[in-house]
Amino acid sequence: MDLFEMPDFDAHEQVVFGCDAPCGLRALIAIHSTALGPAAGGCRVWPYARLSDAVADALRLSRGMSYKNALAELPFGGGKAVIIGEARGKTRERLEAFGRLVDSLAGRYVTAEDVGTTTADMEQVACVTPFVSGLARESGQAGGDPGPKTALGVFLGLKAAVRFRLGRVSLEGLEVAVQGLGGVGYPLCRLLAAEGARLRVADARPAALERVCRELGAQAVACDAILSQEVDVLAPCALGAVLDERSIPGLRARVIAGAANNQLARPEDGEALMRAGILYAPDYVINAGGIISVAREYQGGATSAQVRAEIERIPARLTEIFERARREGRPTSAVADQMAIDRLAAAGRRPMQRASACA
């Protein structure tokens, strides 16, 4: 594995590998950019088959965090941590060893929750380092589990996308397919159902699927059929790279608006969606609600009402991207990338451009 030659390497500032043999921790932290401030981004726990898969994920996710934080106008750069292993294998020792790895970077990287980690895990990490956010908070204060805040931003962004592409203000009777019913997908389904959307849902965990069907009257769909449902909106809220050359020809939705990071397998897939007449809400723009909460909690002093007000700016940001993409005849993903790259460049460091951003 040649790190510097990997397709996802984008002049990342730093990649740190950490191993704590006694407790079995194998982790890495990728810092893409600190041009705008300390690199902030969650910690993912996942049983990667190969080290190179974990590195590629950390590289891709950390660059996404640079773009996300830049477009959310947060004073933070982009970073991401991955712990290699099953989420059920997390122990106090492993989380604390991970915390020491975060601490060794002396604040250049701030961690929080992601797939496979919880608020309780971050509390454990906080026992050994102050460079952590997404901790339990008193009500009224900014912070806590970012999942519901991400869901709120996705919900508001989805409504903006529906208005732009379908010309509809109300979600009443709108058909929405949601892939993944975890920390974000579940609260998103609740918000959608409360406004009258009709849900088709899939999750690899039968209990998560059963809960949404029972509580919200959603229709269960097999995991391998959720992407190709004949619906108005598809909301990918599981893992990344679900939109690729194999899945895109089978998509029936006219809007894609979901929480998952890195939904496009390759930059060209944004072009394919545009050609198919599908409006894609760039993932790192629509799913910024969680990092807005995490960032304001970390800085201190903000209230949950202030965080909500910031999340409520996501729809306007998306609409600006949709309008510019239409005007310029470019994919929404390429427009968002360009805006993020321009902001990072203006802050003093010019990240290597990706093909989509140069197009």
13 binds ligand NAI (CB under 6 A): no
Site map 206..225 versus ligand NAI, x via CB under 6 A: --x--------------x--
Between residues 33 and 150, which has the closer beta carbon with respect to ligand NAI?
A: 150
81, β-bridge pairs: 29, 43
Identity of the residue numbered 322: F
Residues 48-67 that bind ligand NAI (CB under 6 A): none
Distance CA 338, CA 353 (A): 9
Q: Which of 190, 212, 218, 184 is nearest to 311 (CA)?
A: 184
43, β-bridge pairs: 81, 113
Structure-token pair, residue 120: 């309780």
Interacting span for ligand NAI (CB under 6 A) from 5-13, 142-150, 245-253, 328-336: 142-150
Site map 144..183 versus ligand NAI, x via CB under 6 A: --xx--x----------------------------xxxxx
Q: Which of 2, 28, 30 is nearest to 14 (CA)?
A: 30
CB of 186 to ligand NAI, least distance (A): 8
Active site residue 80: yes
In sequence order, what DSSP letters do the residues of 100-163 get, joined into one string? HHHHHTTTSEEB-B-TT--HHHHHHHTTT-S-B------TTBS-S-SHHHHHHHHHHHHHHHHH
Gap between the terminal Cα atoms of the chain: 29
The H-assigned helical ranges of the chain are 51-71, 92-104, 119-125, 147-166, 185-194, 206-216, 268-275, 283-286, 289-299, 304-311, 314-328, 332-346, 355-358
Between residues 100 and 211, which has the closer beta carbon with respect to ligand NAI?
A: 211
Site map 299..328 versus ligand NAI, x via CB under 6 A: ------------------------------
CB of 326 to ligand NAI, least distance (A): 26
Interface residue with ligand NAI among 136, 204, 225, 309 (CB under 6 A) is: 204
Interface residue with ligand NAI among 124, 261, 332, 356 (CB under 6 A) is: 261
Between residues 13 and 203, which has the closer beta carbon with respect to ligand NAI?
A: 203
CB of 242 to ligand NAI, least distance (A): 8
Sign of the CA dihedral with 237 first, then 239, 241, and 243 last: negative
User: Crossing angle, helix 289-299 and helix 51-71, to 10 degrees?
Assistant: 80
- Count of residues binding ligand NAI (CB under 6 A)? 28
Interface residue with ligand NAI among 143, 185, 315, 331 (CB under 6 A) is: 185
Residue nearest ligand NAI by beta-carbon distance:
182
The H-assigned helical ranges of 11-83 are 51-71
Residues that bind ligand NAI (CB under 6 A): 113-115, 146-147, 150, 179-185, 202-205, 208, 223, 237-240, 259-261, 287, 290
| Residues taking part in catalysis | 80
